Amino acid sequence: MGNGFVRRDRRADHGDPPQHRQHSAAAPSGIITLVSREQALVGSRFRVYSIPEECTRCRLYAACMGRLVPKRVYEVVEVRRGLGQRCPLTGSEMVPVIAVHVPIRVLVPDRYALEGAIITYDYWCDCEDCVRDPILRRGEKVRVLRIVGRKACSGREYALVEVVPTN
C-alpha cells in the first residue's frame, strides 16, 4: 500500500491528532489489513485513494486491500508481527495491522444525535454551508460517536457529530 495509492498522514486532517494510546472496548472494531513497514506505527493514518487493478489479482488482496474502502481514512491502532510478505506492486515489506476508521464529522437532525446510536446517513440539508462529507454514501449505516456542536439552518436544528461507518 504505497506508491501513491495510500497516503500516510501523521497530521490530523480528520479529527484529533494521532496519539499513542490503548483503545478501550468501546472503540470501533478494527480491520486487519496489511501496510508497508514504514506505515506500521500506532497512530499512523492513511487514506486509500483507489485500489489498483493489479491489487485485485494479487494473492494478498483479501488480507491487504480487500477490506478497505476507497476515500476513507484509517488509523493504525495495533501492529502485529510481520510475516515477511512483499507487495508485488511496490516491493515493500508488508506488515499486518489493525486499523480503525477515523471519525467523520457530519450534520444530522437533532433527534438522531444520540451517542452510540446507529443511524442511516442521509444529506438532510442541501445548504452549501452545511457540513457534508463526500466519503460517506447516502443510505450508509454509521455509529454516532459523539456530539461536537449544534447548528440551525433553514429553520431546522442540526447537530454536528462524529460518526464511523458500521461496516
Neighbours of 167 (CB within 10 A): 10
Compute the C-alpha angle 8/9/15, nearest 5°: 140
Across 84-105, average pLDDT: 91
Instruction: Read off the C-alpha cell for 48.
Output: 486509500
Compute the C-alpha angle 82/24/162, nearest 5°: 100
- Point out the least confidently predicted range of 12-21, 25-34, 61-70, 116-125: 12-21
Which residues fall within 8 angstroms of residue 85, CB to CB, at 6 or more apart?
A: 34, 60, 93, 94
DSSP annotation string for 129-151: TS---TTSPTT-EEEEEEEEEEE
- Looking at residue 98, its pLDDT comes to 95
- Looking at residue 133, its pLDDT comes to 61
Q: Does the pLDDT value for residue 16 go beyond 60?
A: no
pTM of the model: 0.70
Q: Terminus-to-terminus CA distance in the chain, angstroms? A: 21
Helix/strand/coil for 10: coil
- Looking at residue 43, its pLDDT comes to 95
Across 105-113, average pLDDT: 88
- The rounded distance, in Å, linking the Cα atoms of 12 and 44 is 10
For the chain, the structural domain boundaries read: 6-101, 104-165
Which residues share a beta bridge with 16? none
Instruction: Read off the C-alpha cell for 99.
Output: 486499523
Burial of 149 (0-12, 13-18, 19+ CB in 10 A): exposed
Tell me the pLDDT of the chain averaged across its residues. 80
Question: Residues 114-157: pLDDT tens digits?
Answer: 999 999 988 766 676 665 666 788 888 999 999 999 988 878 88
Q: What secondary structure letter does DSSP report for 117?
A: -
Name the H helices within 29-111: 53-56
Length of the chain: 167
